[in-house]
Amino acid sequence: MSSTAIAERVVRGACPHDCPDTCAMRVTVADDRVIRIQGDPDHPPTHGALCTKVSRYAERVEHPERVLHPMKRVGPKGSGQFERVSWDEALSDIAQRLQAIAARDPQAILPYSYAGTMGLLQGESMAARFFHKLGASLLDRTICASAGAAGLQATYGGKLGMHLEHFAGSRLIVIWGSNSIASNLHFWTFAQQAKRAGAKLWCIDPRRSETADKCHRHLALKPGTDGALALSLMHELITHGWLDAAYIDQHVEGWPELRERALQWPPERAAQVCGVAAEDIRELARDYGSTQPAAIRLNYGMQRVRGGGNAVRLVALLPCLTGAWRHPSGGMLLSASSWFVRAIDHAALQRPDLLAGRRPRTLNMSTIGDELLREAGPGFGPKVEAVVVYNSNPVAVAPESRKVVQGFAREDLFTVVLEHFMTDTADHADYVLPATTQLEHLDLHTSYGHTYVLLNQPSLTPRGEARSNTDIFRALAARMGFDEPCFADSDEAMARQALKPGIRFEALQQHGWQKLPLPEAPFAEGGFHTPSGKADARGADFVPNYESADSAPALAQTYPLAMISPPARHFLNSTFVNVKSLRSIEGEPLLEIHPDDARLRGITGGQLVRVFNGRGSYRCKAEVSTRARPGVVVGLGIWWRKFGVDGTNVNELTGQQLTDLGRAPTFYDCLVQVEAAEAAATASAPATA
Ligand SMILES: Nc1nc2c(c(=O)[nH]1)N[C@H]1C(S)=C(S)[C@@H](COP(=O)(O)OP(=O)(O)OC[C@H]3O[C@@H](n4cnc5c(=O)[nH]c(N)nc54)[C@H](O)[C@@H]3O)O[C@H]1N2
Ligand SMILES: Nc1nc2c(c(=O)[nH]1)N[C@H]1C(S)=C(S)[C@@H](COP(=O)(O)OP(=O)(O)OC[C@H]3O[C@@H](n4cnc5c(=O)[nH]c(N)nc54)[C@H](O)[C@@H]3O)O[C@H]1N2
Ligand SMILES: [Mo]
């Protein structure tokens, strides 16, 4: 190494964010400062490019508002009044409080975490060990993907799909419930390659997204009607003889019953339910039935409704009916996560054996509002007395905020939040503990959108007094007197324990990533991971929304508009909302509303509107735009509540009802009404598109 102080060093890292892309990064540092952050040009999915958010990662890491010291609450809950305390004081007080609760019943303690980092170490490793040993309540981690995951499990036997890179060779790509340009940018690169080579691109999305703009065709169906559309496509495949009978015969279970159901769905019927033209369904079916190789890029956007699990099942069956799986560039990708069972030993990381025979209750993170407000009782167990939050911001992201906030505001709830920033959740904490960012800690990564294992090596020293999640739980374990040797494991030791034979830690250190050895066309000859080895069609059917004009006509009279709240391009869920340069691109919280719906309500662009239903009310500015289809409004998310006009966000309106499969939330199954909240600037101005 050079002796000059400004010597630059390039460190191999991985992007930690909850995104299918999990990019390989190269971080150039000098003198403990970031010089630049780039995508690894050699990592095929990343191909040298990072998104706008992460190429500006240093802005987040060196943000002047980062929490750099342990903080203890001094004002009322939610007031955001804290004072600095020492690690020693914070850790001993927290350990004492948890111990006192655990002495009565450890299940009164609830860990709450999700994918703020997708890292296997800073996610569920030392933290899981800690809560297993404690005997705390278990958390059902359903907030994002569990309906689709259950749909894939039932149909394919796991979260299995195409190789990302092979989309470049597809002749037809159906981008379904995914705004790829915003939320899966590295997939979009491969789709563009296919497009340049002559492939046709369809987008199926209620919103005319950035991605819909760039596809040849856009089908703007009503939210929650994807299952009906898939059944109608099957109807057309059957009646036009576009099926691969041999593939179905050998590799699909339950086809005769599904065939009967699909025959009930001529395009005219689906057109009615989906709110689209029957002719468009016919065209999509013709394209899908007569083009090979044909690929579907499904994303989780379409499973945040009551019937989300079954909708995923039906879409996942389409490539099994046409034999699209025979080609490397045909098939479907929603998630690739289950391929990694070959590489990662989760039990070694999480040590469920530390439960030692105890079977704590499981609470669903998606109904945290209700869980925090529930009293002790048979069937529930003890009232929740303590919550330890890491890698998540539930006060902003969980549905039905009124209840979530009420729960976190309970004066008798002891709340510890491990965070980088004073989020809406941290505001409600008793203690906020400063956590390191990805540039300051080691981590091991898999991906849900590609098939590479990655290692993130730290490039900076921890800022202020920040400590990694693993280190914080290690320290807490020591204070609680947990003396199993696994509580002394270093991060590197845990990473090594997690890797199964075939993936070498040293190789990851040197190259940053390693590809899983997998067949190019994984189901060319069947071999699904179901017990029968066949794709399972049994029972898959369309399940209508909880809230729609068809399924809840009385409710729809009062609240006639369907609201969806998909990701904003320059935020990652509620992460980055406080990064000024990114927030200035997104502007402010908005509600997109179609010109016809706006005109009917006397709403003009830029005007403050009130969005409301039986669960709550939320005010923001209206954006009158044809990005929203008639009958559907769009509140791009997920803003921090404190940036909202009234200190609230769209989750005031979303409900805690769960999906058909997977116990997931139904964020996009949500009826609302909208009204002008202030007089229009020019009362007679026509709505603009
Ligand atoms: N920039 C950015 N990237 C992200 C995220 C982010 O917040 N910002 N979030 C990340 C996360 S957590 C996830 S889970 C992934 C995937 O995140 P997803 O939530 O799947 O997000 P998108 O891929 O944007 O897909 C959402 C699209 O689905 C559409 N949609 C909504 N309802 C329906 C429906 O009923 N049917 C159909 N067909 N479409 C519907 C929306 O209009 C939107 O365009 O992306 C990740 N990537
Ligand atoms: N209305 C509506 N609500 C939604 C959605 C929607 O589409 N519409 N999408 C849903 C989906 S798909 C998801 S995945 C969830 C996402 O919800 P969350 O998983 O809660 O994700 P974020 O809001 O990004 O919050 C993650 C937090 O983790 C912190 N963090 C990051 N890295 C670390 C670390 O190393 N250590 C610690 N201690 N903290 C860290 C970040 O600072 C951030 O505040 O939201 C859901 N909520
Ligand atoms: Mo998600």
Residue nearest to atom 35 of ligand 1 (CA): 223
Answer yes or no: is 346 within a domain: no
The residues, any chain, with a CB within 8 Å of residue 460's CB and separated by 6 or more, are 29, 32, 33, 34, 61, 439, 440
- Global pTM? 0.96
| pLDDT at residue 685, rounded to an integer | 42
Q: Please give the helix or strand (H or E) that residue 474 lies within, else none.
A: helix 469-479
**160 CA distance to ligand 1 middle (Å):** 19
- Kindly report whether the peptide bond that precedes residue 638 is cis, defined as omega within 30 degrees of 0: yes
Give the tokens for residue 170: 């597809």
How many angstroms separate the alpha carbon of residue 447 from the centre of ligand 2?
16
Is the beta carbon of 655 within 6 A of some atom in ligand 2?
A: no
- Domain-embedded: residue 507: yes
Are 363 and 495 in the same domain?
yes
Counting from 1 in the atom list of ligand 2, the atom nearest the Cα of 567 is 7
pLDDT at residue 446, rounded to an integer? 98
3 state SS of 469: helix
405 and 315 within one domain: no
Tell whether 153 and 253 lie within a shared domain: yes
Q: CATH number, domain at 129? A: 3.40.50.740
Query: What's the distance, CA 513 to chain centroid?
Result: 23
Q: Is residue 66 one of the residues assigned to a domain?
A: no
Which of these, 104, 113, 158, lies nearest to 135 by C-alpha position? Answer: 104
User: Is the same domain home to 191 and 99?
Assistant: no
User: Could you tell me if 196 and 330 lie in one domain?
Assistant: yes
Contact yes or no for 503/489 (Cβ under 8 A): no
Judged by DSSP in three states, 200 sits in strand
**HEC per residue, 476-534:** HHHHCCCCCHHHHCCHHHHHHHHECCCCCHHHHHHHCEEECCCCCCCCCCCCCCCCCCC
Q: Ligand 1 centroid to 130 CA: how many Å?
A: 33
166 and 312 within one domain: yes
For the Cβ of 635 lying below 6 angstroms from any atom of ligand 2, the answer is: no
Q: How many independent structural domains does the chain possess? A: 4
CA dist., res. 612 & res. 530, Å (int): 44
Within a domain: residue 134? yes
137 lies in the same domain as 172: no
CA distance 435 to 462: 9
pLDDT score for 683: 42
Residue nearest to atom 45 of ligand 2 (CA): 397
Euclidean distance between CA atoms 593 and 492, whole angstroms: 50
Residue 523 placed within a domain: no
For residue 504, the tally of other CB atoms under 10 A from its CB is 14
Please indicate, yes or no, whether residues 123 and 171 belong to a single structural domain of this protein: no
Instruction: Write phi, then psi, for 177 (nearest 5 degrees).
Output: 60, 40
Q: Ligand 2 centre and the CA of 53: distance in Å?
A: 15
Query: Are 54 and 156 in a shared domain?
Result: no
Q: Is 113 in the pocket of ligand 2 (CB under 6 A)?
A: no
Domain at 628, CATH number: 2.40.40.20
**What separation in Å is there between the alpha carbon of 365 and the centre of ligand 3?**
13
Residue 22 near residue 449 (C-beta atoms within 8 A): yes
147 alpha carbon to ligand 1 midpoint, in Å? 14
Best residue for ligand 2 mutational test, from 392, 444, 474 (most atoms within 8 Å of Cβ): 392
**Ligand 1 atom nearest to CA at 211:** 44
Cα of 184 vs centre of ligand 1, distance in Å, is: 9
Q: Residue 592 Cα, ligand 3 centroid: separation in angstroms?
A: 21
Q: Is residue 402 a part of any domain in this protein?
A: yes
Atom from ligand 2 closest to the CA of residue 433: 38
DSSP assignment string, 140-173: E--TTTHHHHHHHHHHHSSS----GGGGGG-SEE
pLDDT attached to residue 79: 86
CATH number at residue 174: 3.40.228.10
Q: How far is the CA of 144 from the centre of ligand 3 (A)?
A: 4
- 182 CA closest ligand 1 atom index: 1
Nearest-atom number in ligand 1 for the CA of 567 is 7
d(Cα 504, Cα 166) in Å, to the nearest integer?
A: 26
Q: Ligand 2, residues 130, 139, 178, 393: which to mutate, most atoms within 8 A of Cβ?
A: 393
User: CB of 654 closer than 6 A to ligand 2?
Assistant: yes
pLDDT of 684 reads 43
Select from 331, 343, 344, 345 the least CA-distant residue to 160: 331
Do residue 55 and residue 94 come from a single domain?
Answer: no
* Within a domain: 94: yes
Domain-ending residue, one of 283, 305, 334: 334
Range of the domain at 585: 553-684
Residues having CB within 6 Å of any atom of ligand 1: 18-19, 144-145, 176-179, 182-184, 204-207, 209, 223-224, 226, 299-302, 305, 564, 566-567, 569, 571-573, 668
* CA distances in angstroms from 668 to 302, 326, 350, 594, listed in the order given: 8, 34, 33, 17
| Cis ω before 595 (30° cut-off from 0) | no
181 CB near ligand 2 (under 6 Å): no
Q: Count of H helices and E strands in the chain?
A: 24, 27
* Letter string b/e over residues 593-619, b meaning 16 or more CB atoms within 10 A of that residue's CB: bbbebbeebebbbebebbbbbebbbbb
Q: Are residues 462 and 356 in the same domain?
A: yes
Which amino acid would we find at residue 420? H
* CATH number, residue 18: 3.30.200.210
17 lines ligand 2 (CB under 6 A): no
Which stretches of the chain drop beneath a pLDDT of 70? 1-5, 679-689
Q: For the residues of 5-70, what is the DSSP string, one character each?
A: TT--EEEEEE--SSSTT--EEEEEEETTEEEEEEE-TTSTTTTT---HHHHTHHHHHT-TT---S-
E-strand stretches of 398-447: 414-419, 431-434, 443-445
Task: Take atom 12 of ligand 1 and give the residue whose Cα is closest.
Answer: 18
Q: Are residues 510 and 450 in the same domain?
A: yes
Structure tokens at 466: 């920040």
Is residue 524 in a domain?
Answer: no
| Token pair recorded at residue 148 | 């689709």
146, 183, 565, best to mutate for ligand 1 pocket (most atoms within 8 Å of CB): 183
Atom of ligand 1 lying closest to residue 209 CA: 44
Atom of ligand 2 nearest to the CA of 438: 35
Q: Would you call 231 helix, strand, or coil by DSSP?
A: helix
